[in-house]
A and B are shown apart, each in its own frame.
Chain A
Amino acid sequence: MGLEKVGALPRWLVMTIVVVLMAIPLIKPLGILPVISESTMDYYNAIDQLKPGDVVLFDIGFGSGGYPTLGPASIAILRHCFSKDLKVVIMATQQEGAVIYPLIMDKVKPEEVYGAKYGEDYVFLGYIAGVQTAMAAVLGDLHSAAPVDYTGKSIDTLPMMANIKNADDIDVVAYLTTAGEIAEGWVYQAYSRYKKTTCGGWLSMMTPSLKPYYDTGALTGMLDGIRGAAEYEKLIGEPGDAMKTTDILNLTQLWVLILVILGNIAFFAARGKEVS
């Protein structure tokens, strides 16, 4: 077989190997720990430096498509918040966020694991429409923008909300999203307007376009896709789904590299033949 043939592996073979490589870590996790990047460390530190009782506004800005990547990141961040006895105001600027919330909390288990109580230590405001309008409204006058929580209960009756009225009472704004508008929106509304410590997380493919906000200090911390989530899990010492997923990333991306090398070997072999 000529070397140029390695550039024409059948599609089914390429895909089958991808499936096999995805399955291996599910059966036997590799457990390779990621190198902690500076941006993830900054995200972690922004929350870790808070004192018990400080307030984090956490936005679920993703739906089902982003859940495999940003779900584990949300779980890790919220676990970190609850372990520090922080007050967490959770909201959703993406329609599906309200349905994603119970999935996340089922894994965080704030009551069972951390002894946190709904209404005293955390609250969920539900989905608030309008993206940047919603962000501006919540930071401007939270009680007026979201008079009731997800269950329809007046937030005036929730003890923790008595002292959380607007941006002045929020220490850190943290969010995870698959939408560029949400990612930029929090920078404009929380950092530019109120100079709040703002930490953002998103899919890896969004990082290049949003990284300038981190470089210039508008974003204090940045979580870069599933890799960032795995780093966060490592930092809080609770390996979870992100670590498993990065195992899959390890093997499939290695396969991509092998394919790229094979493709180029075939290309140069074919060109060599043409020349000769």
Chain B
Amino acid sequence: MLAWRRRADVLSTMFFFVIVVSLFPLSISPEPQLLRSIAPGVVWVAALLASMLSLGRLFANDYADGTLEQMLLTPQPLYLIVLGKILAQWLVSGVPLILVAPILGVQFGLSRESLLVLMLSLLLGTPVLSLIGSIGAALTLGLRGSGVLIALLVLPLYIPVLIFGALAVDASIGGLPTQSHLSLLGAILVLSLVFAPWATSAALRISIE
């Protein structure tokens, strides 16, 4: 809640994303054909890593200052509170990525349609990253070195999102239909929207004991 008060977090996530993505054209080769073929993978992997950056802080601060206990003890359903926290986290970590993605796509010589598909796939995919990540954040609460542990727990679960997100952009570059990939991403989103807050709530109750 009010993650906006810590603007540094938002900017660091976004700059990390921008820099990682920009490193590839600089380091590999400026050849447009090659860049276009690696673009979907690069942008998606960078988005994945960038969204991991702020995950550790999702519940850690609340845990440290006792507000998490208070949230568990409110008459509101914990499911909704957790969903609210995840939504706020997505707004400050996911949405900026979606907004800067087209600018980065231009670096890779993507066409207008491909840029649109890239944004659409990120729009469907980044909430899933936040949702799944929240489970990892809740499970590793209060542990030492939780950052690495979150990555180990959560990254394997991110793989389907990565595959379909990158495939959708890939397909649009090749002029193929993208609808099936995007529909699958949407399906993953709906599924995680239902189950992730529930799993996170259960994990929080265990962590707080």
- Asked if chains A and B come from one complex, the reply is no
Residues of chain B whose beta carbon lies under 8 Å from any beta carbon of chain A: none
Residues of A within 8 A of B (CB): none
